[in-house]
Amino acid sequence: MDLQAVKELAQLMEDKALTELDVEIDGQHVVLKKEVQVVSAPAAPQISIPVPAALSTATPAAETPAEPAPQQAAPAAKDSVVDFNNITEIKSPMVGTAYLAPSPEEEPYVKVGDHVQKGQVLCIIEAMKLMNEFTSPQAGEIVDICVEDGQLVEYGQCLFKIV
């Protein structure tokens, strides 16, 4: 599939106001997603800012910040927590880069086996040059960390598993 075909699919998404398109043509599979992020200002109405559509196979930037500084808490995503066999999957509320420690030289926020409290920072998700602290929606024990430090994460992707 050539670049022109991908551009035409992106234009089709725009024309039809689609947020996701999954296409297989001649054995080639392409997924296009357009994320919409809501930004609010004090005493101002909420504004939706569309983010350009991107292929799901996008690679993370080669450059990682030396010391990501948390600036704001990440909002809890709808359906961010799923219970299954007493294991709670904590899912990403946004697209971005996940950092498991405050900086590369420091210890990670949590490790497998750690007991966490509701509201405890689990990781930082960098989205649009903003560092968002991602906190635990419940108390429990970390049984699995499903991402690696510096990994690009998708909306709804499982980050941690807690019991």
How many structural domains are present in the chain? 2
Written as six digits, the tokens of 10 are 């992106």
116 and 155 assigned to the same domain: yes
| Interior/surface letters 124-163, b for 16+ CB within 10 angstroms, e for the rest | bbbbeeebbbbbbbeebebeebbbeeeeebeebebbbbbe
Residue 66 lies in a domain: no
Residue 36 lies in a domain: yes
Contacts of 78 (CB under 8 A, 6+ apart): none
Secondary structure class of 163 (helix, strand, coil): coil
Q: What is the pTM of this model?
A: 0.50
Lowest mean pLDDT among 31-35, 42-46, 101-105: 42-46
Is residue 109 over pLDDT 50?
Answer: yes
Residue 93 lies in a domain: yes
State pLDDT tens for residues 127-162: 888 899 989 999 999 999 999 999 999 999 999 999
**Run of H or E residues at 10:** helix 3-16
Structural domain boundaries, residue 89: 72-162
Residue 78: the pLDDT is 43
- Confidence category of residue 8, pLDDT binned at 50, 70, 90: confident
